Amino acid sequence: MESWLLILIAIPVVLAIILYNRLVALRQTRHNAFSDIDVQLKQRYNLVPQLIESVKGYASHEKNVFQNVTDARAQVGKEEGAGEGRVKAEGLLGGALMGLLAVAEDYPDLQADQNFRQLMAELSDIENKIAAARRFFNSATNELNTAVQQFPANMIAKTFGFHTEAFFELEDGLEDAIRKAPDVKFD
């Protein structure tokens, strides 16, 4: 009789331990996924001054565009971690970079500049890596959010302070700009 009572007590305890450890593992996976994004975002962050200087030589009268990029970059520098503030700041930087690249399109000599082309290739590569890392991060976030909301894990999650987390999403306008096919002109 005592062994049955012990088993009845042990089963929920073991289940709670298993669920807690799963939630911890999912949270760690999400943190690691953001670290992958963070590496790429820092590379992009470090590339921005070179891009600005490259474009400035050709379009020095576009001061507001340069100021927007500089301000957005400064905002990113103030934000830490995977919170909504960081995601928003990165979105602003992405939008400001789109504005800088739009200005660059108006200068054929700049387009032909080897240094600028190399910087653009690096930026394109970084943006592709960010997109891949963002997909992995959002997948890890989805898996954590699902586990936090499912029964019986939701009881363990609530008890130990686990909660749903935000996805890393681009702002609507920026998402549309990235998805839009570029104009191709043959002169």
Tens of pLDDT, residues 136-159: 999 999 999 999 999 999 999 999
Q: What is the pLDDT of residue 137?
A: 93
Q: Considering the chain, what is the average pLDDT of its residues? A: 83
Determine contact, residues 73/52, Cβ cutoff 8 Å: no
Tell me the whole-structure pTM to 2 decimals.
0.73
- For residues 20 and 158, is the Cβ–Cβ distance under 8 A? no
**What is each CA distance from 180 to 124, 151, 153, in whole angstroms?**
15, 41, 41
Domains observed in the chain: 2-179 (1.20.1440.20)
pLDDT in tens, 41-78: 899 888 888 888 888 777 766 778 888 888 988 888 88
